[in-house]
Structure 1
C-alpha cells in the first residue's frame, strides 16, 4: 500500500520537496494552494524573490489577515519586503512573458506524459477565468507542477494524455507529488526521486502516466 496521508501531510511533503530545489536569489512565481506553502520550507540560507501575477515584486506574508491594501493574485494579504516594489499589471505580465521568471510553481488538475498541464478549468463548472497561468507556464524558465498524486476520487492526476483544457502544452519541467518527483528529460518523464516510505512497484502500477525509472533513483524523506 502507498502510505495514506492527511491532506495537510501531503501538502507539506510536496512543498518541502520543491523548496529544497529552489536556488538562492531566484525570482519565483507561486500559484494558489500548495505552491503558497513553499516559502515556509526554504532551507537555511536560501532566499527567493516572490513575484505575484497582479504586480508585487519581493512579496512576503502579512500577519494581519484583514489588511487588504496589498494582496496577491489569490486575494491573500501580502507585504512588500524591503527592496521590493508594486508594479503595474502590464509590467508584471511583461516580466512573465519575457522569460524573466526563474521558477513558477503551479497546482495541477492533470499533468501528462508530454509535460502538458491542465490546471484552470473543469468543464461544466463555473470559473472566473484562466488568469495569467498560460502566460506563466509559457514564459518561466522552469515550471514545477505541485500536485497530489491522486484526486479525491482516487484517480491518478499523472495521466498519459490530459483530458481537461490545457494551460500549457509540453511546458512542465518537474512534477512533485507527496510520493515522488518526476522530471521531463528531453521529452521523457523520468522518475528521479521517491519517498522512502513508498513502494516503487505499487507507485508505477497505480500511476497512469508512463514513467521511466532513473538508474540513479533517489530514495529520500519527503
Structure 2
C-alpha cells in the first residue's frame, strides 16, 4: 500500500464507538474508509454537518451536499445541517471527541503547523477552521509524512512554521511511526512494517523515548 493509505488505515484505529469525529482535508478523510468492524460513530464536517455518510456515486452526487473540502458526501439518517458559525462554535466549545488533521510540521511539545506556506513573502492560504479544532477538540491526531522530499524531518523539537494550535496534539501518525506526545518528549508506540527504531531515529529531529509496549503497526 502507498504511504497515504498506510497513514489513513492506522489513523482509523484511533477511532472508537460512539465518538464525534472531525476529519481534516485530504488524507484524513480517507480514514473513514478503514473503520474497524463494528465501530459506529458520527462524522462531522466543519462546513456544517453532523452525520456525514459515505462518498456517493458520481451519478448520485449533489453539489449542495459536500464536506469542507468540497468533496461530495451523503447524509446519514438523523444528520444535522447548520450554518458555518454554529459549526465553528461546536468545534470551539468541546463538542467533538476527536479530530484527525493533516500537518506540515509537528513537535515534541504537541504543537502543530498545518496551514501556512510562504510564497513570495506571503503566508497563505489561511488558517481556517483548524484553529478552532485544535482549541476545542478533546483529542487531536496529526497525520503527515515523516520527512520532506529532501529527507528532512517534519517531526521536530519545535515547529518552524506558524502554529495552528499549541500543545494540543495527542498522537502523531506518520508513514514510519506512531508517537504519543508526552511531557516535552515523544513516546514511540509503533513502527511501520519493516522500519526499525534506528531508521526512525535517523529521520526524527524530536526527542523520543520508546514505549514499554512498542510494537510493529498492525494494518
The answer to whether the 8 A contact 2:54-2:74 is kept is yes
Among candidates 194, 204, 207, match of residue 204 of structure 2: 207
The answer to whether the 8 A contact 2:118-2:124 is kept is no
CA distance in 2, matches of 1:29, 1:120: 17
Residue 142 (1) aligns with residue 139 (2): yes
The answer to whether the 8 A contact 1:64-1:77 is kept is no
SS at match of 2:116: coil
Residue 197 (1) aligns with residue 194 (2): yes
Which residue matches 2:166? 169
CA distance in 2, matches of 1:98, 1:83: 22
CA distance in 1, matches of 2:74, 2:157: 40
Residue 76 (1) aligns with residue 68 (2): no
The answer for unaligned runs of 5 or more in structure 1 is: 1-7
Residue 45 (1) aligns with residue 42 (2): no
Deviation at 1:126, TM superposition (A): 6.5
**Paired residues, number:** 215
The answer to whether the 8 A contact 1:80-1:86 is kept is no
Residue 35 (1) aligns with residue 32 (2): no
Q: TM-score, normalised by structure 2?
A: 0.93
Which residue matches 2:51? 58
CA distance in 2, matches of 1:187, 1:90: 34
Among candidates 160, 185, 188, match of residue 188 of structure 1: 185
Aligned-pair Cα RMSD in Å: 1.5
Q: TM-score, normalised by structure 1?
A: 0.91
The answer for unaligned runs of 5 or more in structure 2 is: none
Deviation at 1:187, TM superposition (A): 4.0
The answer to whether the 8 A contact 2:105-2:156 is kept is yes
Q: Which aligned segments of 4 or more residues in structure 1 are displaced greater than 4 angstroms? A: none
Which deviates the most, 95-104 or 54-63? 54-63
CA distance in 1, matches of 2:149, 2:106: 16
